Amino acid sequence: MSTTTRTAPPSTRPGNQLPVADSPAVRRAFVRLLATEKRRAFAAVGLHLVAAVAAAVAPLLLGEMLDQLTAASSGTAGAAAIDRLALGLVASIIAVVAFTWAGTFVSYRLGERLSARMRVQFVDRALRLPMPVVEQAGSGDLMTRSSADVPEAGVLFRDGLPQVTVSVLKVLVFLGAMFWASPLLGLCMFVVVPPLYIGTRWYLKRARNGYLAEREAESAIGDTIGASADGARTTEAYRLRTGRDAAGDATVARHWRAARYTLYLRTVFFPFLDGAYALPTAAVLLVGGAFYFNGTLTLGTVAACAVLTRQIMFPIDHILMWVEKVQRGFAAMSRIEGVAEAEDDETDATTERPVDGTVDLTGVRYAYPTSGRDVLHGVTLSVPAGQRLAVVGPSGAGKSTLARLISGSDVPREGRAAIGGVDVAALPLDERRKRVTLVTQEHHVFTASLRDNLILAKAEATDPELHAALAAVGADWVFDLPEGLDTPLGGKNRELDAASAQQIALARIILSDPDVVILDEATAMLDPRAARDTERALGAVLEGRTVIAIAHRLHTAHDADRIAVVEDGRVAELGDHDELIALDGHYAGLWRAWHGEPESRKCVEHGEPESRKAVEHGAVEATADGGDFAQANA
């Protein structure tokens, strides 16, 4: 039996946002991703190298033609040599066009494949994030990384990588051609290095932090807008609009300041570069002209090197123009790779596997990071495999926290939560999902067909299995759909109400076939009659599995094998319905309040109105503070 005790993960970073990877980690990730497409990368580099060589040959041939024409005017050269040079020039131009097209085609396919691979990798990592990390970070941060950072990094692979690679190759080849034509004039290119170095260094020292701040500000906007949208009714009911407007204005102002700063960097950097581009050509013409007049250099050599300076400056300009986009791309990758640092670490995952569906909690204590105060105080509870346990108690007693610990969504601060003798938090994520399922009243229907929404739980499920699962949860409306299982759901397609979405979630349980099922208000969105029918159906389907249900309708707690009453983070009472009624404790009081017995009769006998009795004996608290008391395990 495993005795491992795991501790809860720490807060990810100040403000509880997800981590941001440092520059070395981003570079390593970039190289790893590029290594997955080595053949295409080498092919693209080879094709562009040939195109660059052909482009460098063209001005050299042009310079040689100029020298031949000069010689021809003095009668020392013939037309045949000029014709051969002209044919060579045409051939080099054709080669440039052909190999540039081929290289661009391969490069963009490479970029698209790398971008797609990065997207798949990000989604996989996001799905492996521990639930506490996602909840602490907030939906806005993760949403911004998926909707803004992933596309931005995709541009880096799809456009930036091919274009920067091509530009670097051209600079090297053209510079080599200049030195081949005239080492002296080749040195003239380096007059541009000091201003480019100074400007680029100034920009790079500030750009990464500037773009990261801009991205974080976008995340804050997403969080604020999401919170305002989710809490719109609460905002209206409590007249909080002014406060929400102020919060939105503050996040927008923060983003505006960050965006203005990055704009300032660009307005300084790019004009500075434009002023430096003319320096190499001017140097070649001045130096070349001086040496031409003393007979050291020919006119063709000077002309060829002058053309090459312009050819070199175009790719250099392209590289420097892409510096800004590359900085944005690498800042986005820093945030994408940060998700990997926060994902569920399985390096120390146990190799043990649960022997059955027995649930054991031993001395469990838990505190939410936001409060630091324990909400569970040394809870010890054992649920044998195949037993149905209902958990009841007032709101805030710790019922849902117990459910999350048993599912492995949260990790105890102290103690141990185990399934089948194995620490549930130590199980690999895939194994944990296969063994235990937590279902709440919040369910998501993806914009896809009904079939796709169901096979998330079991990819190989057949149509009869899907129909059986839907029938088991009472989703009779499915059989009236015009396209059956292929009917599109979500988005602009058929919208489902909360009850129908809940039935789809319950059908997924049946398909996934876990050892342990935890139902936290799983039928709360159904009307009482439909909820009761669904609970009965689920009871038959889940027979033999361990079922732990947060019970918010006491009539369903009555059906459970055992009932645990949770108060103030402790299990105050434990037993079946009859035992707890006989105990005449908290559960018995809730049961009488639920049914209005026997206090109602006593109240009538003493001439007291039942409404007064309900207040005095906690009936109001049982329905409002204690929740809707609904168990969804049958």
Residue 17 and residue 23 in contact, taking contact as beta carbons nearer than 8 Å: no
Greatest Cα pair distance, the chain, in angstroms, is 135
> Which residue has 């434009």 as its token pair?
274
Question: Which residue from 65, 57, 69 is spatially nearest to 93, judged by alpha carbons?
Answer: 57
pLDDT at 205: 87
pLDDT at 622: 34
- With the C-alpha atoms ordered 298, 301, 305, 306, is the resulting torsion angle positive or negative? positive
Q: CA-to-CA distance for 390 and 630, rounded, in angstroms?
A: 10
What's the Cα-to-Cα distance from 406 to each of 15, 196, 419, 439, 475, rounded to whole Å? 28, 60, 8, 12, 28
Other CB atoms within a 10 A radius of the CB of residue 607 amount to 6
pLDDT at 4: 42
For 353, the 3-state DSSP assignment is: coil
Residue 149 and residue 336 in contact, taking contact as beta carbons nearer than 8 Å: yes
CATH class name, domain 375-625? alpha beta
| CATH superfamily to which 20-342 belongs | ABC transporter type 1, transmembrane domain (1.20.1560.10)
Return the C-alpha torsion angle 113, 119, 123, 124, nearest 10: 40
Question: Which residue from 377, 432, 433 is spatially nearest to 402, judged by alpha carbons?
Answer: 377
**Rama region for 8: left / alpha / beta (φ>0; ψ in -120 to 50; rest):** beta
* Residues of the chain with confidence (pLDDT) below 70: 1-16, 72-78, 132, 135-140, 343-348, 370-371, 441, 491, 522-541, 556, 596-634
Q: State phi, psi for 561 to the nearest 5 degrees.
A: -65, -40
pLDDT at 564: 92
What's the Cα-to-Cα distance from 498 to each of 438, 473, 495, 505, 535, rounded to whole Å? 18, 14, 10, 11, 17
Entry field: residues in the chain:
634
What secondary structure, in 3-state letters, does 34-80 show?
A: HHCCHHHHHHHHHHHHHHHHHHHHHHHHHHHHHHHHHHHHCCCCCHH
The DSSP 8-state label assigned to residue 628 in this structure reads: -
Enter the tokens of residue 286.
């001045």
What's the Cα-to-Cα distance from 441 to each of 20, 32, 368, rounded to whole Å? 33, 41, 21
Q: CA-to-CA distance for 122 and 148, rounded, in angstroms?
A: 13
pLDDT at 540: 65
Proportion of the chain above pLDDT 70, given as a percent:
83
Check whether the bond before 598 is cis (ω within 30° of 0): yes
Per-domain residue ranges for the chain? 20-342, 375-625
pLDDT at 351: 80
Q: CA-to-CA distance for 628 and 388, rounded, in angstroms?
A: 19
How many whole angstroms from its chain centre is CA 135? 13
